[in-house]
Amino acid sequence: MNYRLLIGLHLLIMSCEEPYFIEEQQVETTVVIEGLITNQNKSHLVKISTTDDFYSIGPTPIISNAQVSVEDSEGNIYLYAEDADSPGYYFSEIFSGKVDLVYRLLVEINGQEYTAEETLLSVTTIDSLSYFLDDQEREYLRENDDNEPNRYYEVQFY
């Protein structure tokens, strides 16, 4: 009886190999604006692109010739210019963001305006950091550590 059950389960598992293809849906192209301001004194980046079809192969479509600026709550305006070597990437003049100021991003693309607003928050201070290896991880390291130079281990912190 167990032998028949085993064969039945094996046939059931082996018969589930048909690939599933997602039906392609027509979706409207959407503008994607990515940016970051830090408290580092440097040129900050805004990347502007569009969404693409699900099965699309190749680089993400970029948007050139946009007007990009950032204004802070003290009235300072920072203009961004598109990088000639990397279309779709816009860099600011050098400045450092200030904690607790509100920053407003303004992007204009072919007469259409996009805005976003956010407060620059302070970074939480890390007062301690520790790790723990369970027995399985220790055994794996013992068995696989061949003392090669430049060998790295992945560590995840939660």
* Residues 12-64: tens digit of each pLDDT: 565 556 676 777 677 788 999 999 999 999 999 999 999 988 778 888 899 99
Q: Given this model, what pLDDT does residue 52 score?
A: 87
**Residues 50, 32 contacting (CB under 8 angstroms):** yes
Q: Which pair of structure tokens corresponds to residue 50?
A: 């569009």
DSSP secondary structure code for residue 41 in this structure = S
- State how far the Cα of 130 lies from the Cα of 132, in Å rounded to an integer: 7
Q: Given this model, what pLDDT does residue 123 score?
A: 84
- State how far the Cα of 88 lies from the Cα of 85, in Å rounded to an integer: 10
